[in-house]
Amino acid sequence: MTQTNTTNNLELRFVDSLADIGEENWSRLAGRENPFMRYEFLWALEETGCTTEESGWKPHHAVIYDDTQKAIAVMPLYKKTNSYGEYVFDWSWASAYQNYGLDYYPKFVSAAPFTPSHGERLFVDDSITKETAVSFIFEKLKEKAEFINASSWHILFPEKEDNALFESIGIPARTACQFHWFNRGYESFEDFLESMNSRKRKNIRKERQKVREQGVEFKIVDGTNISDQQWDTFYQFYQSTYMMRGMQGYLSQDFFKQIARTMPEQLFMNCAMKDDRIIAAALFFRNSDKLFGRYWGSARDYQFLHFETCYYQGQEYCIEHGLKSFDSGAQGEHKIQRGFEPIITYSNHWIADQRFADAINNFLDEERPHIDRYREEAASLLPFRKSDSSSSK
């Protein structure tokens, strides 16, 4: 059911399906540059059953219409009944609520589901400012939260500028750290290695040589040309990666095949081949200037195969195709010695109960300098030569 609120010639609707907004409206406002905010990506999650009430990701997207019924702003929104697939961990907050006999769920989340990649979370046209749009959404969402007894609203991995905007209207910020690789105009992978100190450079060459000595070769298959058999093999690898941690993958095989049909130009599969069969695979996304490494798996352990398939091959791809940066996903201190630099990521959190809001805000204030110090310490471990650091190349 669609809920409607109107004020000052604007109308806000919370809709239970992306289809209620429509591909034309969403794409006109959100564009197609960020693959994880594309209509095709979010709709595939919904249509194939990955984001449903049963999975704990019930769509409840926000759309603002003007007085001519033109959609002028959209924001992804989900009513969550768990904290899985978010990568900004609030389990301790949920536990604190439970200890006091209160319900932390449902809560509202604005995010790219199951995807810890920063990007815009609010999209507007020229007739409205982001500040006006998010203030309007915030006002009505607080009313909605009170009505359904939702505990909070969490905006995950927004851009730095949007994080500051959300913070300015009373949605406090939280910081974290990821590791991204930056292409400093390298002409080749060897050129990139030459920016490193001798020991790290030799280590990477040895790792890559070890993979070759195991008889492994690599084949990049663009989204249009990925066969059903390749998808079937990849999906087995993808699920086995989660099974090793006692979990099941969040995404369905139908989801992967659907995005291959609807947005193939923004994805490709890197297949590790041995004796003419796939022994590992990684799925990448891209836009005009950035590469995103997301899902991977292998038939069994091969020494250094993960680093080659997911990192070095991605770095080579960026250099060859002139992409400026490489977002390889969440966490992973092992990425530092391979040239991935620590960056700050953001999230914003509004808590309805003022008592818990005060306690959580104090926690965020105390946590932030620890995150900053961690980033600084991680940056000090980067393998680049002091006389020719990556930041000055």
How does residue 249 score in pLDDT terms, banded at 50, 70 and 90? confident
Specify the pLDDT at position 390.
44
Report which of 202, 199, 175, 192 is spatially closest to residue 311, judged by C-alpha positions: 192
Percent of the chain with pLDDT over 90: 91
Residues 162 and 24 in one domain: yes
What tokens were used for 196?
């490193």
Residues 195 and 283 in one domain: yes
Residues 190 and 130 in one domain: no
pLDDT tops 50 at residue 391: no
Look over the chain and give the mean of its residue pLDDT values, rounded to a whole number: 94
pLDDT tops 50 at residue 1: no
Tell me the average pLDDT across 66-86.
Answer: 97
Domain boundary among 171, 197, 231: 171
Domain boundary among 137, 171, 205: 171
How does residue 7 score in pLDDT terms, banded at 50, 70 and 90? low
Specify the pLDDT at position 387.
59
8 Å CB contact between 69 and 279: no
Tell me the average pLDDT across 101-130.
Answer: 97
Residue 133 in domain: yes
Residues 185 and 202 in one domain: yes
Coil, strand or helix at 134: helix
Residue 244 in domain: yes
């991935």: which residue's tokens? 340
Q: Give the C-alpha distances (Å, rounded to integers) separating 356 from 78, 79, 104, 152, 349.
A: 22, 20, 11, 10, 12
Residue 381 in domain: no
Number of domains in the chain: 2
Q: Which residues of 30-61 are buried (b: 16+ CB within 10 A; e: fewer)?
A: beeebbbbbbbbbbbbbbbebbeeebbbbbbb
Residue 69 in domain: yes
Q: What is the CATH number of the domain that holds 200?
A: 3.40.630.30
How does residue 244 score in pLDDT terms, banded at 50, 70 and 90? confident
Give per-residue pLDDT as tens, 156-205: 999 999 999 999 999 999 999 999 999 999 999 999 999 999 999 999 99
Domain boundary among 299, 322, 342: 342
Burial class of residue 349 (count of CB atoms within 10 Å of its CB; 0-12, 13-18, 19+): buried
pLDDT tops 90 at residue 303: yes
Specify the pLDDT at position 243.
76
Residue 34 in domain: yes
What tokens were used for 10?
């604007």
Residue 292 in domain: yes
How does residue 5 score in pLDDT terms, banded at 50, 70 and 90? very low
Residues 326 and 197 in one domain: yes
Q: What is the DSSP letter of 34?
A: S
Residues 279 and 332 in one domain: yes
Tell me the average pLDDT across 134-143.
Answer: 97
Give 86's contacts (C-beta < 8 A, 6+ positions apart). 80, 109, 111, 154, 156
Residues 95 and 215 in one domain: no
What tokens were used for 22?
């429509």
pLDDT tops 60 at residue 4: no
Residues 108 and 40 in one domain: yes
Task: Tell me which residue range forms the domain holding 116.
Answer: 3-171
pTM: 0.94
Residue 365 in domain: no
Residue 166 in domain: yes
Specify the pLDDT at position 301.
85
Residues 274 and 145 in one domain: no
Specify the pLDDT at position 392.
38
How does residue 229 score in pLDDT terms, banded at 50, 70 and 90? very high
pLDDT tops 70 at residue 62: yes
Residues 167 and 189 in one domain: no
pLDDT tops 60 at residue 393: no
What tokens were used for 192?
């990139």
How does residue 248 score in pLDDT terms, banded at 50, 70 and 90? confident
pLDDT tops 80 at residue 6: no
pLDDT tops 90 at residue 61: yes
- Count of other CB atoms within 10 angstroms of residue 146: 10
Residues 43 and 121 in one domain: yes
Residues 229 and 250 in one domain: yes
